[in-house]
Amino acid sequence: MGTGAVLSAQGTDADTPNTAMTALGHVTQAWATFSTMWEPTLDEKLGFKTWSAAQNDRFLYVAWDTDANAFVANNTASFGAQIKAEKASGVVALAGEASQLAQLRKVAAFLMGAIASTDYDRTNGRKSLAFKSQSGLAAIVTDATRAATAIDNGYNIYGAYATAMDGFNWLYPGTVPGRFKTISAYVNQIWLNAQIQYALAVLVSQANSIPFNLDGDGLVEGAVLDPINTAVNAGVIRKGVSLSESQKQQLFNAIGRDVSGAMEAKGYIFIPGCSTASASMRTDGVIKPSLYYMDGGEVRSISMTSTAVL
């Protein structure tokens, strides 16, 4: 996945979240997640969120928040509640107490490290961020009611959980607001899009030309097959997942034909876009390939019953 960026407040009095992040983006794009060494004000957090949300799902702002309102039921003023209501993309919120500021900052660093260490070359290398833990990292939330309240208010927590056999410190629930639902689905698409972008950059660098016909389709599809196959092997793209009727209709509306069987079998549909380009696109020399893939989701809760047959 690559590295994360950490911002320091030192010497940046004139900066706003927008100007600071824009300047960083001009220096390098070789990062996916970012956080801060200091706790921003609510307005600053919202500013970082706004910048990230405007980047076409390219970055993830890992916000950590010591606002007591995070643990107040049905609160609408906290940062987590606001991004939840907005269904903001490109942000995840971590909740803790003001007295736990240093520890909460470590949780943010742990989350960024867990994301960066995802091994996409490994079979089923996709990593759910729910239930992840770091040795030596103490739980931030130890009360079940407070944990449930913070989660309902749009936050993730690093909490203490226990069974009859043992105790665990876990990040939970591993979710983000917006359409991606989970942290993993969001960061996986960052990785996949970066891999495909690079593959296409190599293609246009090495090909003498790419025609607007089936031969062009073959060149484009051949270029992206390696990252797509890697994504299938890693579990970023899931085969064998049944589509709902709503999902089938969404695909039909987007593509113009029923591709649900192929989607369920392969996990993805790729349209190269060369042979189907319009006359105006051919004049402009532009193609718009499309990839539709099945994320498939991940188990984040197990509710089991045990029945004795007597």
Between 42-53 and 17-27, two packed helices, what is the crossing angle to 10 degrees? 40
Picking from 155, 157, 55, the residue whose alpha carbon sits closest to that of residue 103 is 157
Q: What is the CB neighbour count within 10 angstroms for residue 100?
A: 19
Euclidean distance between the first and the last CA atom of the chain, given in angstroms as a whole number? 52
What pLDDT, on the 0 to 100 scale, is given for residue 135?
A: 93
DSSP 8-state assignment for residue 241: P
B/e letters for 128-162, b = 16+ CB within 10 Å, e = fewer, are bbbebebeeeebbbeeeebbebbbebbbbbbbbbe
Q: How far is CA 282 from CA 121, 200, 212, 275, in A?
A: 36, 18, 7, 10
What pLDDT, on the 0 to 100 scale, is given for residue 82?
A: 98
β-bridge partners, 171 = 158
Place of tokens 């824009």: 22
What pLDDT, on the 0 to 100 scale, is given for residue 12?
A: 47
Between 183-206 and 101-116, two packed helices, what is the crossing angle to 10 degrees? 40
- The Cα–Cα gap between 71 and 268 comes to 41
CA dihedral 153, 159, 164, 166 (to 10 degrees): 160
The domain ranges of the chain are 3-184, 207-293
What pLDDT, on the 0 to 100 scale, is given for residue 266?
A: 97
Tens-of-pLDDT digits for all 310 residues of the chain? 655 666 655 554 668 999 999 999 999 999 999 999 999 999 999 999 999 999 999 999 999 999 999 999 999 999 999 999 999 999 999 999 999 999 999 999 999 999 999 999 999 999 999 999 999 999 999 999 999 999 999 999 999 999 889 999 999 999 999 999 999 999 999 999 999 999 999 999 999 999 999 999 999 999 999 999 999 999 999 999 999 999 999 999 999 999 999 999 999 999 999 999 999 999 999 999 999 999 999 999 999 999 999 9
Q: Tell me: the pLDDT tens digits for 163-215?
A: 889 999 999 999 999 999 999 999 999 999 999 999 999 999 999 999 999 99
Helix (H) or strand (E) holding 6: strand 3-7
What pLDDT, on the 0 to 100 scale, is given for residue 4?
A: 63
